């Protein structure tokens, strides 16, 4: 009797799954109006005085609502940006904007004034009566360790131009909704702005992933591979299951050899190595933010004993679970 081949569904939305796991959150933090000539420096949006700040990954958005200016990012590259552009800087390095010939560059935090929406500051700055450039600036943050595989595959700048015909309607509509909410200056808009910024981040990453060349590597490239994305979804949805490569390959609709080759090529890890790292990263977040007993965390991570969990945790994180919890 011939075995019935498995029914393979459409590739899952692994990107959304990962972003849910990393506890993505975001919001708008500034509405700025600058008149030419102006020069402003945006410092890293990272506060080292906040406890364990290094365990949260922060990315910054700039939406160019009106006007145009120049942007220089951390690698020294210079870009001309204009109304309709969406700028995502996945890392927190300093960058600067200018237009014309400014006499000086001012630090953006020194120019902030409280605005009508809680948590959103305003800036009005410039050296003359030249053209006005308006930015709406936001951020998204996530668990650093869980997000690391995703962010390692991103460039220093992702630039989307909503003025171009090929841009998605969802991206344009999300940007327009953010700007509209800012213009209404409704103090109750904070929650909606947070959700919109998260939607914007997801859509920008989707578009970036779709533009990757065929030989790309990294998490986004893996998510674009139908076979690997199915396997990733299975692992993410049931990390504690007693997986084998054979069982994972069967449910992903491929062979063990093909699955292992694609994981190694795209992610630099075998399927089981990836699973171990994902389990330990999930457990590290539980240790950091929760009060569950170590035995419960070990069980939820798929380990039958605390000893086995502790060995795997120290191998991946370089510290025991107890030591990690103490410093977190």
151 pLDDT band (50/70/90 cuts)?
A: confident
Q: What does the pLDDT look like over 250-298, one tens digit per residue?
A: 999 999 999 999 999 999 999 999 999 999 989 988 888 878 899 999 9
- Domain definitions of the chain by residue range: 14-210, 225-327
User: What whole-number distance in Å separates Cα of residue 162 and Cα of residue 318?
Assistant: 44
Nearest residue to 260 via CA among 247, 244, 271, 274 = 271
Q: What does the pLDDT look like over 159-216, one tens digit per residue?
A: 999 887 566 688 889 999 999 999 998 888 888 999 999 999 989 998 899 899 999 9
Look at residue 53 and tell me whether its pLDDT is greater than 60.
no
The CATH number of 225-327 is 1.10.10.60
pLDDT of residue 279: 94
Least confident of 82-86, 153-157, 165-169: 165-169
pLDDT of residue 15: 85
Task: Provide the strand spans (E) within the chain.
Answer: 25-35, 38-42, 56-66, 68-72, 78-82, 85-89, 95-99, 106-107, 113-114, 121-126, 132-143, 158-161
Range 57-78 average pLDDT: 94
Candidates 2.40.30, 3.40.720, 1.10.1240, 2.60.120; CATH matching 14-210: 2.60.120
- Express as a percent the part of the chain with pLDDT over 70: 91
pLDDT of residue 97: 97
pLDDT of residue 168: 66
pTM equals: 0.85
Least confident of 53-62, 69-78, 108-117, 293-302: 53-62
DSSP 123-156: EEEESSSS-EEEEEEEEEEEEHHHHHHHHTTS-S
pLDDT of residue 49: 43
Q: What does the pLDDT look like over 288-320, one tens digit per residue?
A: 887 889 999 999 999 999 999 999 999 999 999
């Amino acid at each position: 009797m011939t075995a019935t081949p498995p029914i393979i569904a459409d590739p899952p939305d692994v990107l959304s799954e990962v972003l849910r796991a990393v506890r993505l959150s975001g919001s708008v933090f500034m509405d700025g109006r600058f008149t030419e000539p102006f020069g402003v420096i945006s410092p890293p949006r990272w506060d080292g005085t906040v406890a364990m700040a290094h365990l949260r990954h922060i990315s910054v958005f700039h939406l160019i609502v009106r006007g145009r200016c120049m942007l220089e990012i951390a690698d020294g590259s210079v870009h001309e940006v204009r109304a309709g552009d969406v700028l995502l800087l996945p890392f927190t390095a300093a960058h600067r904007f200018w237009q014309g010939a400014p006499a000086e560059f001012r630090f953006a935090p020194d120019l902030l004034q409280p605005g009508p929406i809680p948590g959103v500051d305003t800036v009005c700055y410039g050296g003359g009566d030249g053209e006005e450039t308006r930015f709406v600036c936001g951020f998204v943050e996530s668990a650093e360790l869980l997000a690391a595989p995703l962010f390692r595959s991103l460039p220093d700048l992702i630039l989307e131009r909503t003025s171009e015909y090929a841009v998605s309607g969802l991206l344009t509509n999300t940007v327009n909704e953010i700007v509209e909410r800012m213009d209404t200056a409704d103090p109750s808009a904070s929650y909606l702005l947070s959700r919109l910024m998260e939607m914007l981040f997801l859509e920008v990453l989707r578009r970036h992933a779709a533009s990757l060349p065929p030989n790309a590597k990294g998490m986004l490239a893996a998510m674009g591979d139908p076979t690997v994305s199915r396997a990733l979804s299975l692992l993410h949805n049931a990390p504690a299951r007693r997986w084998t490569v054979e069982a994972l390959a069967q449910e992903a609709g491929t062979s063990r050899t093909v699955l292992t080759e694609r994981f190694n090529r795209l992610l630099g890890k075998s399927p089981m190595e990836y699973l171990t790292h994902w389990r330990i990263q999930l457990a590290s977040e539980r240790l950091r933010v929760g009060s569950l007993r170590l035995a419960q965390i070990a069980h939820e991570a798929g380990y039958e004993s605390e000893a086995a969990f502790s060995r795997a945790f120290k191998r991946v994180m370089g510290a025991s679970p107890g030591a990690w919890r103490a410093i977190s």
